[in-house]
Amino acid sequence: MARVLLFGPLRDLAGWRERQVEGGSIAALRAAISAEDPELALALAGPGVQVALDQALVRGDAAVGAASEVAFLPPMSGG
């Protein structure tokens, strides 16, 4: 269980910005999202999408706690 945040075009694609998702790892969160919205799960795995766990960038999989915040960050556009 973690709080999942989406930004930029990912948010528009999903139709939501923030949601509680079941799963004890980032991979489990991706699977839970895929079960409900495969198109979104594909976009989350897309090129240039970075993942931040509790505001720190992580690569690959990582364990997430119940109070964790997992953000999917599409390519950043700069200001």
Partner 1 sequence: MIRLTEHPFDAGALLSEFSAGRRETGAIATFTGLARAEQGAAAVLELEAYPGFTEAQIGRIAETARLRFGLHDLAILHRVGRIQPGEPIVFVATAAGHRRAAFEACDFLMDYLKSRAPFWKKEHGPAGARWIEPTAQDHADRARWDHEETAP
55 lies in the site for partner 1, by CB under 8 A = yes
Residue type, 44: L
Task: Single out the segment in contact with partner 1 by CB under 8 A; choices: 4-12, 24-32, 39-47, 60-68.
Answer: 4-12
Work out whether 23 is an interface residue with partner 1 (CB under 8 A): no
Our measurement of the distance from residue 12's CA atom to the centroid of its chain's CA atoms, rounded to an integer in Å, reads: 14
Q: By CB under 8 A, is residue 3 in contact with partner 1?
A: no
Q: Is 42 helix (H, G, I), strand (E, B) or coil?
A: helix
Q: Does 33 bind partner 1 (CB under 8 A)?
A: no
Contact (CB, 8 A) for 21 and 27:
no
Residue 9 engages partner 1 in binding (rule: CB under 8 A): yes
CB 30 within 8 A of CB 44: yes
In the complex, the residues that contact partner 1 under the rule CB under 8 A are: 5, 7-9, 11-12, 52, 55, 71, 73-79
